[in-house]
Amino acid sequence: MRIKNDIFALIRGKIGAIFLSGLFLSAVSFLFLVLNEKNFKVNSDFLIVQNATASQDAYSLSKSAEYFGKVLSESVYSELFINEVVKTGKVNAEFLPFDKKEKIKVWSKIVSASQNTNLGIVNIKIFDDNQKQAVAISEGVSEVLTTKNSLFRGEGQNIEVKVLSGPIVEKNPSILDIMAVILGGFLFGFLLSVVLVYYKSEQEKIENSEYFPRNEDYV
């Protein structure tokens, strides 16, 4: 209880500095977000449909679609997938570096894939500073997923990939992203300052021997 009261007392005494620290971290977080994020984001959702055969029940169909969704989500980052996107003609073949390692590295910053395993839905996000190119890349990805998905699955699997929505263009980062980063930065800076102030206070007490008996107490 005493420690809790000490912390509140320290916060009251240093509230100005603590608040400024929170604002500083908030501003740094905002600048980092703005400088590192692309200007546009294009969203698309794809539904994985496992067509039934006589030997399959609903559970096996669901698990098969779930597995294929995971495979697709990872395949999106592969060199094979990149090459197929380029082959669609939607994008210029020179928009990525020629070196294979650099090509995959840059591509992984452009595309983001996630999966809703319960619904069999794969979400693809494309990030770019140029809106037209972002849409073109998204259209290329969509074409590969819907017409060439057989390249990423085994033979005999009766699976379809259908476009649920997209491409939907958004400004990036969104207002919600900005608010979350600013608030998160402020809270982190505020709490970090409280910890540092408390630690410094405890160190000063130790240095002043307030936690140790004086020599005359032993006389």
Residue 140: pLDDT band with limits 50, 70, 90: very high
| Chain-centre distance for alpha carbon 39 | 16
Q: Return the percentage of the chain with pLDDT > 90, whole number.
A: 22
Each residue's pLDDT tens digit, 158-198:
778 899 988 999 887 777 877 888 888 888 888 887 777 76
| Per-residue pLDDT, 219 | 46
Each residue's pLDDT tens digit, 48-72:
887 666 556 566 666 767 777 788 8
Range of lowest pLDDT (19-23, 43-47, 57-61, 79-83): 57-61
Report how far apart, in Å, the C-alpha atoms of 98 and of each of 36, 75, 78, 104, 109 are. Answer: 23, 20, 15, 10, 16
Mean pLDDT highest for which of 71-80, 151-160, 209-218? Answer: 71-80
Each residue's pLDDT tens digit, 144-167:
999 888 888 766 567 788 999 889
Residue 207: pLDDT band with limits 50, 70, 90: low
| Per-residue pLDDT, 209 | 57
What angle (nearest 5°) sits at the alpha carbon of residue 46, between those of residues 136 and 83?
A: 45
Residue 218: pLDDT band with limits 50, 70, 90: very low
For tokens 């290329």, name the residue.
140
CATH code of 38-172, in short, is 3.30.70
Closest C-alpha among 148, 153, 145, 146 to residue 68: 153
Average pLDDT over residues 119-143: 90
Report how many helices (DSSP H) and strands (DSSP E) the chain contains, helices first.
7, 4
Mean pLDDT over each residue of the chain, to the nearest integer: 79
Range of lowest pLDDT (7-11, 24-28, 137-141, 143-147): 7-11
Partners of 165 in the beta sheet? 45
Where do the DSSP E strands lie in 110-158? 111-116, 121-128
Partners of 59 in the beta sheet? none
pLDDT at 136 over 90: yes
Q: From CA 44, how far away is CA 144, in angstroms rounded?
A: 13
Q: From CA 136, how far away is CA 93, in angstroms rounded?
A: 12
Report how far apart, in Å, the C-alpha atoms of 116 and of each of 44, 47, 68, 168, 169 are. Answer: 13, 10, 12, 18, 21
Average pLDDT over residues 113-118: 82
In the chain, where the domains are located: 2-35+176-207, 38-172
Q: Mark residue 209 as left, alpha or beta (left: phi above 0; alpha: psi -120 to 50; beta: remaining).
A: left
